[in-house]
Amino acid sequence: QTVVTQEPSFSVSPGGTVTLTCGLSSGSLSTTYYPSWYQQTPGQAPRTLIYNTKIRSSGVPDRFSGSIVGNKAALTITGAQAEDESDYYCVLYMGSGGWVFGGGTKVTVL
Amino acid sequence: QMQLQESGPGLVKPSETLSLICNVSGGSITGYYWTWIRQPAGKGLEWIGRIYDNGVTMYNPSLNSRVTMSVDTSKNHFSLRLNSVTAADTAVYYCARERWLEEFDYWGQGTLVTVSS
Quick check: A1 pLDDT over 80? Answer: no
Does B63 lie at the interface with A, CB-CB under 8 angstroms?
no
Of B49, B94, B103, the CB nearest to A98: B49
Mean pLDDT computed over B41-60: 97
Which pLDDT does position A50 carry in this prediction? Answer: 98
Rounded (5°) CA angle A79-A81-A83: 150
pLDDT in tens, B73-111: 999 999 999 999 999 999 999 999 999 999 999 999 999
Does B57 lie at the interface with A, CB-CB under 8 angstroms?
no
Chain A, nearest residue to B49 by Cα: A98
Of A45, A93, A101, the CB nearest to B46: A101
Measure in Å the smallest separation between the Cα of B16 and chain A Cα atoms.
26
**Do the chains contact at A100 and B47, CB–CB below 8 Å?**
yes
pLDDT in tens, A43-101: 999 999 999 999 999 999 999 999 999 999 999 999 999 999 999 999 999 999 999 99
